Chains A and B, each alone.
Chain A
Amino acid sequence: MIRTPLRPLARILEARASGENPDAIERENLRIRHEQMCDSARNRAEGRLLILSVMFFCAFGVIGARMSVLASTDPQEPRAASSGAAILAQRADITDRHGRILATNFETHSLYAQPKQMVDKERVAAELAAIFPDLNQEKMLKNFTGSRKFLWIKKKLSPEQKQAVHDIGDPGLLFGPREMRLYPNGKLAAHVMGGASFGREGVHAAEVIGVAGVEKFFDEELRNPAREGAPLALSIDLTVQAAAEEVLYGGMKLMNAKGAASVLMDVKTGEIISIVSLPDFDPNKRPSPLVEGDASDSPLFNRAVQGVYELGSAYKIFTAAQAMDLNLVNHKTMIDTGKALRVGGFNIGEFEKKNYGVLSIDDIIVKSSNRGTGRMALQIGVQRQKEFMKTMGFMDYTPLEIVEAKGGKPLYPERWTDLSAVTISYGHGISNSPLHLAAGYAAIANGGTYVPPTILKRSQAPEGRRVMREDTAMYARNMLRMVVTEGTASFGEVPGYAVGGKTGTADKPKERGGGYYKNKVIATFASLFPAHDPKYVLVVTLDEPTETSSKKPRRTAGWTAVPVAAEMIGRVAPLLGLRPEIEPGELAGITLTSN
Chain B
Amino acid sequence: MRSLLYIVTALAVIGLAFWAYRENYQTQSEIARSEQINKEIGHARARLTVLRAEWAYLNRPDRLRDLTEVNYERLGLLPLRPDQFGKVDQVAFPLPPEPELVITNPVDVSGMNGADEAVTRGDGVFP
Chain A residues engaging chain B, CB cutoff 8 angstroms: 79-84, 86-89, 100-101, 104-107, 182, 184-188, 238-239, 242-243, 246, 494-497, 570-571, 573-575, 579-580
Of all chain A residues, which has the CB nearest B38? A86
Q: How far is the CA of A497 from the CA of B83 in the complex (A)?
A: 11
Are B53 and A580 in contact, with the CB atoms below 8 A?
A: no
Known A-B contacts A574-B82, A579-B85; the reply to A86 vs B45 at CB < 8 A is yes
Are A495 and B82 in contact, with the CB atoms below 8 A?
A: yes
Give 1 or 0 for each of B58-84: 1 = CB within 8 Å of chain A CB: 011110010000000000000111111
Q: How far is the CA of A229 from the CA of B81 in the complex (A)?
A: 38
Of all chain A residues, which has the CB nearest B54? A184
Q: How far is the CA of A86 from the CA of B39 in the complex (A)?
A: 8
Q: How far is the CA of A238 from the CA of B50 in the complex (A)?
A: 20
Are A82 and B60 in contact, with the CB atoms below 8 A?
A: no
Are B65 and A574 in contact, with the CB atoms below 8 A?
A: no
Are A104 and B56 in contact, with the CB atoms below 8 A?
A: yes
In the complex, whether B46 has a CB less than 8 A from a CB of chain A is yes
Are A186 and B60 in contact, with the CB atoms below 8 A?
A: yes
Are A185 and B80 in contact, with the CB atoms below 8 A?
A: no
Residues of B near A83 (CB, < 8 A) are 38
Cβ-neighbour of B60 out of A81, A104, A188 (below 8 A) = A188
Q: How far is the CA of A89 from the CA of B41 in the complex (A)?
A: 13
Chain B residues engaging chain A, CB cutoff 8 angstroms: 27, 31, 34-35, 38, 41-42, 45-46, 49-50, 52-57, 59-62, 65, 79-85
Of all chain A residues, which has the CB nearest B33? A82
Cβ-neighbour of A82 out of B31, B80, B82, B83 (below 8 A) = B31
Are B56 and A494 in contact, with the CB atoms below 8 A?
A: no
What are 21 A-B pairs with beta-carbon distances under 8 A? A79-B31, A81-B31, A83-B38, A86-B41, A86-B45, A88-B45, A89-B49, A100-B56, A104-B49, A106-B50, A182-B53, A184-B53, A184-B56, A185-B60, A185-B61, A186-B62, A496-B82, A497-B82, A571-B79, A574-B80, A580-B82
Known A-B contacts A82-B35, A106-B53; the reply to A574 vs B81 at CB < 8 A is yes
Query: 16 new A-B pairs (CB below 8 Å) besides A83-B38, A104-B52, A575-B80?
Result: A87-B42, A100-B56, A100-B59, A101-B53, A101-B56, A106-B53, A107-B50, A186-B60, A188-B62, A242-B61, A242-B65, A246-B65, A496-B82, A497-B82, A574-B80, A580-B82
The 4 A-B residue pairs with the shortest CB-CB distance in the complex, in nearest-first order = A242-B61, A184-B56, A184-B57, A101-B56
Q: How far is the CA of A100 from the CA of B59 in the complex (A)?
A: 10
CB distance from B26 to the nearest CB of A (A): 12
Known A-B contacts A82-B35, A185-B61, A246-B65; the reply to A574 vs B53 at CB < 8 A is no
Cβ-neighbour of A570 out of B62, B81, B85 (below 8 A) = B81
Residues of B near A495 (CB, < 8 A) are 82
Q: How far is the CA of A444 from the CA of B10 in the complex (A)?
A: 90
Residues of A near B65 (CB, < 8 A) are 242, 246
Q: How far is the CA of A101 from the CA of B59 in the complex (A)?
A: 10
Known A-B contacts A79-B31, A101-B56, A242-B61; the reply to A494 vs B38 at CB < 8 A is no
CB distance from A54 to the nearest CB of B (A): 18
Are A243 and B79 in contact, with the CB atoms below 8 A?
A: yes
Are A101 and B41 in contact, with the CB atoms below 8 A?
A: no
Of all chain A residues, which has the CB nearest B40? A86
CB distance from A531 to the nearest CB of B (A): 15
Of all chain A residues, which has the CB nearest B85? A579
Residues of B near A238 (CB, < 8 A) are 61
Residues of B near A239 (CB, < 8 A) are 61
Residues of A near B59 (CB, < 8 A) are 100
Residues of A near B35 (CB, < 8 A) are 82
Q: How far is the CA of A574 from the CA of B52 in the complex (A)?
A: 27
Known A-B contacts A86-B42, A105-B49, A574-B81; the reply to A80 vs B57 at CB < 8 A is no
Cβ-neighbour of B49 out of A81, A86, A106, A188 (below 8 A) = A106
Q: How far is the CA of A109 from the CA of B55 in the complex (A)?
A: 21
Residues of A near B45 (CB, < 8 A) are 86, 88
Known A-B contacts A101-B56, A574-B82; the reply to A82 vs B61 at CB < 8 A is no
Q: How far is the CA of A235 from the CA of B34 in the complex (A)?
A: 39
Residues of B near A185 (CB, < 8 A) are 56, 60-61
Q: How far is the CA of A106 from the CA of B46 in the complex (A)?
A: 8
Residues of A near B79 (CB, < 8 A) are 243, 571
Q: How far is the CA of A246 from the CA of B66 in the complex (A)?
A: 12
Of all chain A residues, which has the CB nearest B41? A86
Residues of B near A184 (CB, < 8 A) are 53-54, 56-57, 60
Q: How far is the CA of A170 from the CA of B97 in the complex (A)?
A: 77
Q: How far is the CA of A186 from the CA of B64 in the complex (A)?
A: 13
Residues of A near B49 (CB, < 8 A) are 89, 104-107
Q: How far is the CA of A83 from the CA of B39 in the complex (A)?
A: 12
Of all chain B residues, which has the CB nearest A188? B61
Residues of A near B83 (CB, < 8 A) are 580
Residues of B near A188 (CB, < 8 A) are 60-62
Residues of A near B55 (CB, < 8 A) are 101
Residues of B near A580 (CB, < 8 A) are 82-83, 85
CB distance from A454 to the nearest CB of B (A): 23
Of all chain B residues, which has the CB nearest A494? B82
Q: How far is the CA of A82 from the CA of B32 in the complex (A)?
A: 8
Are A80 and B27 in contact, with the CB atoms below 8 A?
A: yes
Q: How far is the CA of A105 from the CA of B50 in the complex (A)?
A: 8
CB distance from B49 to the nearest CB of A (A): 6
Q: How far is the CA of A242 from the CA of B66 in the complex (A)?
A: 13
Residues of A near B61 (CB, < 8 A) are 185, 188, 238-239, 242
CB distance from A210 to the nearest CB of B (A): 18
Of all chain B residues, which has the CB nearest A496? B82
Residues of B near A107 (CB, < 8 A) are 46, 49-50
CB distance from A121 to the nearest CB of B (A): 35
Are A573 and B53 in contact, with the CB atoms below 8 A?
A: no
Of all chain A residues, which has the CB nearest B42? A86
Q: How far is the CA of A80 from the CA of B34 in the complex (A)?
A: 12
Residues of B near A105 (CB, < 8 A) are 49, 53
Of all chain B residues, which has the CB nearest A229? B45
Q: How far is the CA of A496 from the CA of B42 in the complex (A)?
A: 51
Residues of A near B81 (CB, < 8 A) are 570-571, 574
Are B31 and A101 in contact, with the CB atoms below 8 A?
A: no
Of all chain B residues, which has the CB nearest A100? B56
Known A-B contacts A185-B60, A243-B79; the reply to A574 vs B85 at CB < 8 A is yes
Residues of B near A81 (CB, < 8 A) are 31
